[in-house]
DNA sequence: TATGAATGAGCCTTCATTCAT
DNA sequence: TATGAATGAAGGCTCATTCAT
């Protein structure tokens, strides 16, 4: 990548990071373009060189964040399976990942406000970014995250001699279920606190996952 | 109720109805106070006699709408059970209600934009409405909806000799699951169209409900 | 005075007292009619039965307050002269009264903000109150305060065998001088603190007063 | 100064001039930001690029106007002393300047409404203007007016072999005395018309000044 | 007389967006 | 490419005033 392109990417990243911080701490509506550019250390006009408007950068930030989060969760699972002797069954895998996500999100009251209700956005939607403003190649791995998670799960399950029926739907359903319920539970402790809800939620997940398992030989 | 109070109530209702229309057709952010009052046929200042700000009326409208919707669903179920010879099992009841909600919402592309992600708000949250501005008695039944839905289900199941474990959590989880997934499915047909998703969703519901049933006697 | 008139007077007094409190604590601009009536325990519409608008009540309050203040000062002087053996010369009398005013005002940071720049208003102006809304007879003594202070001084000086040249102008000049300078000195300690300024001011007063004395006989 | 900075200064000046006109003709309260910007030929938002709010521009205008006025008075005195054969004593100097101010102000019924009660503000207060929005160098002479007037008087008196006791306090007292009394006399002709009051006032000034003179040598 | 619900003009202020530099 | 001064539409909200009761 040419030096000038690297510089452009830096600017774009700086804007996205600033936007992320402000969206989570101040909220989307209260955050202004001026805030974003100021924090990123660029001029206001520069913003419009990279994003069409505020919703455009929000979408970019959500996708990037959700992707990253899931990536972390998967990495953590990999290590866990490598290092631990305890045998996990298929449902355990789903529960582990979801638990990971919930824990991360729960620790960050601000993150949940911003992203929880949109967790699956980063994974299943090919939302229309500003035309001609695609992510640069350096991020292209995460720009098509749909494959990632689905494929990741398929690989993970390779050794189990099982097949998951309607895997895409299952993933979608689980993510929405989790993000939606936890959003309310974490933020408002309604109808019960998180610690009380988690066992219940995990049980739901196991039910849905186990019901989707088909043995293959 | 005094003549003046009746008039006040009329004004409040007019405002809420206007807000509902505008929120669903134009979106919350694009809707202005001026729009609401204009449509309601009152002066701008009058708005502030009844609501603190735009979020305040949104909350009121959501609660009212969600409550009403669920009421309709329950009524429909009652009739169905009275008139039909087909025997419903416990899970059928849940599926029926949820199906009803989904169908109503699906027909109204606008409604879903506004309410779907917040369906459970009207049922589980005791958010603070403007103080001293309670719903008049004519709506007081739905002003404490928490009892309603839970109690309604309990009554409904009276004749089944069953008990539902963690009923409140089940209801909450189901509502969030449904509203969250259908929101995306209906609006964006992502990851699959509604007709394709519904059977899958219904199956999930049955799983969760059946797993919560405890036989009594 | 008829019972109904007494009641009317009570209302008017309540409004003026509320206005005084609010003007001094919140400032004239920030104070609203609603605030005044609320504090006075009457309805908003009632305000307009007694005063034309906010400036109208302000004028009434200033006059009343300034009058009262001066009255207190004069009373204090009377006692002082009765009880003390120390002989006061003519200038002492002026200094005493002015000192009294300054001390009262200095103690009340809020009072000075409101009235200091307008001290002489209550004494020399026959400002136009709302037409047909004159002070009731019970206050008529203070409604023509011009005579009061001038006559008071004349009486006071009776025993001194002196005449003051241009007494009205002297009084006006002194009051304006004092209120104007002290306003700034008390509020901002500019250009010097009050304690430092007072001796200087007193000296100025003595100069002006002594220069106005004409011996008689 | 760069071209853009010159332009900025022009805008700020235009705003201040418009504000001055409107404050004097319409009064501070009645004048709106919209009025000011409209008259200045800039957009409403532009106002907030230069001033925090209405009180901010008022302060700026008062300071600037008071400074300017005094400068004129001093200049006039200089010429007078150069061209005239009549010998002025020390008190004459003070009287001359004050007379000049009073005359200017008296001619402009509107000016007095705005500035008279605040004449000394421009000379003794170092109020906080909008931060980072200092007057450009072209006006910097008057931006520290405190030194100006005091030093000016000291210089003027150089040839008189006299020293003025408490010069700063004297100046402050005189300015407040004059502006305060003339405010009422000019606007309301209370308690007497200006022409009648002026000789009295001049006499007061002479008293105060002469009493402050200390012979040197 | 007294009320207070209703009014609606008009306020201040923000901020996305443009464009000359 | 990058800037940031300028824009001006639009927003939320206040509040003096009216008037039917």
Same domain membership, residue C152 and residue C197:
yes
Write out pLDDT tens, residues B59-96: 888 888 888 888 888 899 989 988 888 888 889 999 99
pLDDT band at C151 (very low <50, low <70, confident <90, very high): confident
pLDDT at C125: 53
Give the 3-state secondary structure percentages of chain C, helix then strand then coil, rounded to 5.
Answer: 75, 5, 20
- Nearest CA-CA distance, residue C32 and chain D, Å: 14
pLDDT band at B134 (very low <50, low <70, confident <90, very high): very low
Same domain membership, residue B69 and residue B33:
no
Write out pLDDT tens, residues C40-54: 999 999 999 999 999
**Which residues from D are below 8 Å from C when comparing CB atoms?**
29, 117, 120, 124-125, 166, 168-169, 172-173, 176-177, 179-181, 184, 188, 190-192, 197, 200-201, 203-204, 207-208, 211
Nearest by Cα to A139 from A34, A207, A48, A67:
A67
Is residue A162, in this structure, part of any structural domain at all?
Answer: yes
Same domain membership, residue A79 and residue A14:
no
C6 touches strand E (CB under 7 A): no
pLDDT at D116: 57
Domain housing D8:
1-51
Cα–Cα distance, D19 to D37 (Å, whole number): 9
Same domain membership, residue C197 and residue C132:
yes
A11-17: which pairs have CB atoms within 8 A and are 24 or more residues apart?
A11/A40, A11/A42, A11/A46, A11/A49, A11/A50, A12/A50, A12/A136, A14/A40, A14/A41, A14/A42, A15/A40, A15/A42, A15/A47, A15/A50, A15/A51, A15/A57, A16/A57, A16/A60, A16/A61, A16/A64
Report how far apart the first and last C-alpha atoms of chain C are (Å, whole number).
48
Same domain membership, residue B67 and residue B46:
no
pTM, rounded to two decimals:
0.77
pLDDT at A179: 84
Report how far apart the first and last C-alpha atoms of chain B are (Å, whole number).
50
CATH classification of the domain holding A82: 1.10.357
Phi, psi angles (nearest 5°) of residue A161: 55, 35
pLDDT at C137: 28
pLDDT at A33: 94
D2 touches strand E (CB under 7 A): no
Q: Name the average pLDDT for chain C.
A: 81
DSSP 3-state of B192: coil
Is residue B90, in this structure, part of any structural domain at all?
Answer: yes
Same domain membership, residue C130 and residue C41:
no
pLDDT at D142: 31
Q: Which residues in chain C are contacts of D180 at CB distance < 8 A?
A: 117, 176-177, 179-180
B29 CB-contact burial (10 Å; exposed 0-12 / middle 13-18 / buried 19+): exposed
pLDDT band at C131 (very low <50, low <70, confident <90, very high): very low
pLDDT band at C191 (very low <50, low <70, confident <90, very high): confident
Q: Which residues in chain A are contacts of B165 at CB distance < 8 A?
A: none
pLDDT at C86: 83
Same domain membership, residue D80 and residue D33:
no
Task: Give me the residue label for tokens 């931006």.
Answer: D143
Tell me whether residues A179 and B180 touch, CB distance under 8 A.
Answer: yes
Q: Residue C128 above 60 pLDDT?
A: no
What the block records as the tokens of A206 is: 């196991």
Same domain membership, residue B101 and residue B12:
no
Write out pLDDT tens, residues B1-36: 677 888 888 899 999 999 999 988 888 888 999 999
pLDDT band at C205 (very low <50, low <70, confident <90, very high): very high
From the CA of C171 to the C1' of F5: give the distance in Å: 55
CA atoms within 13 A on the CB side of B117: 14
Is residue C96, in this structure, part of any structural domain at all?
Answer: yes
**Which residues from A are below 8 Å from B when comparing CB atoms?**
29, 117, 120, 124-125, 166, 168-169, 172-173, 176-177, 179-181, 184, 188, 190-192, 197, 200-201, 203-204, 207-208, 211
pLDDT at C148: 65
Is residue D24, in this structure, part of any structural domain at all?
Answer: yes
Q: How many CB atoms within 10 Å of residue B106?
A: 17
Cα–Cα distance, C133 to C49 (Å, whole number): 9
Is residue D3, in this structure, part of any structural domain at all?
Answer: yes
Contacts of D197 (CB under 8 A, 6+ apart): C169, D181, D182, D185
Residuewise pLDDT in 10s, chain D (217 residues): 677 788 888 899 999 999 998 888 888 888 999 999 999 999 999 999 999 988 889 888 888 888 888 888 889 998 998 888 888 888 999 999 889 988 888 888 777 777 655 566 555 554 433 333 332 322 322 333 433 678 888 888 887 888 999 998 999 899 889 888 888 888 778 789 999 999 999 999 999 999 999 877 6
Is residue A18, in this structure, part of any structural domain at all?
Answer: yes
Q: Residue C132 above 80 pLDDT?
A: no
Same domain membership, residue C195 and residue C136:
yes
pLDDT at A213: 92
Are B91 and B204 a contacting pair, CB within 8 Å?
no
Is residue B57, in this structure, part of any structural domain at all?
Answer: no
Cα–Cα distance, C110 to C128 (Å, whole number): 26
Same domain membership, residue A184 and residue A85:
yes
Go through D43-76 and write b for each residue having 16 or more CB atoms within 10 A of its CB, e for each that does not. Answer: eeebbeebbeebebbbbbbbbbbbbebbbebbeb
Same domain membership, residue B68 and residue B38:
no
What mean pLDDT do residues C169-182 have?
89
Q: Could you give the number of structural domains in chain B? A: 2
B45 touches strand E (CB under 7 A): yes
Tell me whether residues D169 and C200 touch, CB distance under 8 A.
Answer: yes
Nearest protein residue by Cα to C1' of nucleotide F11: B32
The residue among C32, C51, C70 that closes a domain is: C51
Contacts of D133 (CB under 8 A, 6+ apart): D12, D50, D51
CATH classification of the domain holding B39: 1.10.10.60
pLDDT at D69: 85
D146 CB-contact burial (10 Å; exposed 0-12 / middle 13-18 / buried 19+): middle
- Nearest CA-CA distance, residue B183 and chain A, Å: 10
What mean pLDDT do residues A48-58 have?
90
Of B169, B176, B204, the CB nearest to A192: B169
Q: How far, in Å, are C178, D211, D213 from residue D165 at the CA level?
A: 20, 9, 6
DSSP 3-state of B214: strand
Instruction: Please give the residue that has the higher pLDDT: either C106 or C14.
Output: C14
What the block records as the tokens of A169 is: 């739907």
Q: Residue B115 above 70 pLDDT?
A: no
Same domain membership, residue D84 and residue D135:
yes
Positions 69-108 in B, CB within 7 angstroms of strand E: none
Is residue C56, in this structure, part of any structural domain at all?
Answer: no
Write out pLDDT tens, residues A164-216: 999 989 998 998 898 888 887 887 787 899 999 999 999 999 999 999 998 77
What the block records as the tokens of C39 is: 């504090």
Across A47-51, A92-96, B186-190, least confident range: B186-190
From the CA of D193 to the C1' of F15: give the distance in Å: 39
Across B8-12, C2-6, C195-199, least confident range: C2-6
């Amino acid at each position: 990548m040419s030096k000038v392109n690297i510089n452009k990417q830096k600017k774009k990243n700086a804007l996205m990071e600033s936007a992320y911080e402000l969206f989570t701490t101040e909220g989307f509506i209260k955050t202004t373009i001026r805030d974003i550019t100021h924090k990123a250390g660029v001029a206001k006009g520069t913003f419009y060189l990279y994003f069409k408007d505020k919703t455009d950068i929000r979408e970019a930030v959500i996708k990037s964040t959700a992707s990253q989060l899931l990536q972390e969760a998967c990495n953590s699972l990999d290590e866990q399976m490598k290092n631990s002797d305890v045998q996990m069954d298929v449902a355990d895998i789903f529960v582990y990942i979801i638990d990971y996500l919930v824990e991360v999100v729960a620790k960050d009251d601000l993150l949940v406000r911003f992203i929880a209700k949109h967790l699956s956005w980063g994974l299943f939607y090919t939302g229309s970014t500003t035309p001609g403003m695609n992510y640069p190649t350096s991020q292209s791995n995460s720009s098509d995250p749909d494959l990632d998670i689905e494929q990741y799960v398929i690989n993970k399950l390779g050794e189990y001699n099982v097949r998951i029926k309607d895997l895409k739907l299952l993933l979608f359903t689980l993510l929405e279920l989790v993000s939606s319920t936890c959003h309310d539970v974490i933020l408002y402790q309604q109808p019960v606190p998180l610690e009380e809800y988690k066992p219940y939620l995990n049980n739901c997940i196991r039910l849905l996952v186990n019901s989707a398992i088909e043995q293959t030989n």
